[in-house]
Amino acid sequence: MTIPRNAVSAKDVAEAAGVSRAAVSRTFTPGASVSPTTRAKVLAAAERLGYHVNHLARGLITAESGIVALIVAELDTPFRSRLLAALTEKLQADGKVAMLINTDRSDESVKGALRQAISYRTDAAVVLSGMPDPALGDLCIRNGLRLVLINREEGRPGALHIRLNDAACGAQAFEALRRIGCVRPAVATSRSATTSLRLRAEGFAHAAEDAGLPATREAIGVTSYAAGLDLGTALLSRSEPPDGIFCTTDLLAFGVLDVARQRFGRRVPEDLSVIGFDDVAQAGWDAYRLTTFAQPVDEISESIVSWLDGNGAADDLVELDAHLVWRDTVSMPSR
């Protein structure tokens, strides 16, 4: 049996290149001063020996690991997958490493994830699910862990908060349906009770109330396609079914659309108009062509990376807009 040798060390590279250990360290430290000749010798030796910098060991010295923990639930939803893809790409391009911690939606699960992030000496944690309690937030700050909170209702000092104009989008969704003549508006959401979903539904309901067209509201299950099927069935089985439905996510809207067409024979948008939220890739598929709000995924990711690089106050709030994308599930209003 062959016993694997120890990993190649900086000392091995120094000996092979005929330079000092410090010269090897400077070669692999961005911005450090090292002569072109020495750099060439070190890189050639490192390539020959298969040497790679131990960033974890370096992090113990510099107190910066370069690791960013992403604390997230519902990884299988299209929007969450899209956001994670964009965020990890930008983190990696910035020289950071993403560590994914899968949680449920409970605050207790988020608490455990944050403690795990502290244990691994991560530089920061991006919280996409739940809300860390103030005491745990203070613990993170004391341990040098920077916090990014996305779409959390309550703020906390020392963290970056990123929020969307969810309530305004709900109001805009109602106005879009009203302008094309809908008189029986409805809002379909899940029971996930996230801040974003609640604000979208409330924005829609308040705008409908102000216009004298109170909206029917239906909430079922967790955010999923199956919940969308149930929501569509519940709403369209009413004695006076809606003629316009705002779904707080695209995933719910897909279920509503499928059950409306296949079970109830509704023509979209002639008999029923539907608006979603997120603008996931499937929203543009020919099967749906969903009118929806596009989340600014790139702006969210860029804001996080910029803040982690020190561009912004220690306690910052970034408010971003989601824009309505018109497709075929709502008729274009007449000018």
Residue 110 has what pLDDT?
74
In a domain, 34, yes or no: yes
Residues contacting 287, CB < 8 A, separation 6+: none
Q: Do 178 and 283 belong to one domain?
A: yes
Tell me, yes or no, whether 3 lies in a domain: no
Same domain, 113 and 176: no
Taking the CA atoms of residue 93, residue 99, residue 102 and residue 105 in that order, the dihedral angle to the nearest 10 degrees is: -70
Specify whether 107 is located in the same domain as 195: no
Determine the structural domain holding residue 277 and report its residue range.
166-295
Both 86 and 118 in one domain: the answer is yes
Which of the two residues, 274 and 72, has the higher pLDDT score? 274
Q: Is residue 39 a contact partner of residue 27, using CB atoms and an 8 Å limit?
A: yes
Q: Are strands 323-325 and 291-294 parallel, antiparallel or unpaired?
A: antiparallel
158: left (phi over 0), alpha (psi -120 to 50) or beta: left
Any domain includes 332: no
286 and 202, same structural domain?
Answer: yes
Q: pLDDT value at position 224? A: 92
pLDDT higher than 80, residue 314:
no
Quick one: which H or E segment has residue 186? strand 185-189
CA atoms of 230 and 251, how far apart (whole Å): 12
Structure tokens at 118: 């502290």
Confidence band, pLDDT 50/70/90 cuts, at residue 178: very high
Averaged pLDDT, 189-210: 93
Is 54 a member of any domain? no
Q: Are residues 24 and 88 in the same domain?
A: no
Q: How many domains does the chain have?
A: 3
- For residue 57, tell me if it sits in a domain: no
CATH at 315: 3.40.50.2300
CB 278 within 8 A of CB 250: yes
Residue 51 has pLDDT above 90, yes or no: no
pLDDT of residue 62: 46
Mean pLDDT of the chain: 85
**Cβ(104)–Cβ(134) under 8 Å?**
no
State whether 195 and 237 are in the same domain.
yes
Model pLDDT for residues 112-143, shown as the tens digit of each residue: 777 777 777 788 888 886 555 666 667 777 77
pTM score over 0.95: no
Please indicate, yes or no, if residue 180 is contained in any of the structural domains.
yes
Residue 329 in domain: no
Q: Which residues contact 330 (CB under 8 A, 6 or more apart)?
A: 176, 177, 180, 244, 269, 273, 274, 275, 291
pLDDT digits (tens, 9 = 90+) for 76-120: 888 888 999 999 999 999 888 888 888 776 677 777 777 777 777
Kindly indicate the confidence band of residue 189, based on its pLDDT and cuts at 50, 70 and 90. very high
Alpha-helical runs (H) found in the chain? 10-17, 21-27, 36-49, 55-62, 78-93, 107-119, 134-142, 166-179, 195-210, 225-236, 250-262, 297-308
Token pair listed for 198:
């609640």
- Burial of residue 72 (CB within 10 Å: 0-12, 13-18, 19+) is buried
Q: What is the mean pLDDT of residues 143-153?
A: 80
Please report the pLDDT score of residue 304 as a whole number.
92
Are residues 188 and 285 located together in one domain of the fold?
Answer: yes
Q: What are phi and psi of 291, to 5 degrees?
A: -75, 130
Q: What is the mean pLDDT of residues 169-194?
A: 94
Is 2 within the bounds of a domain? no
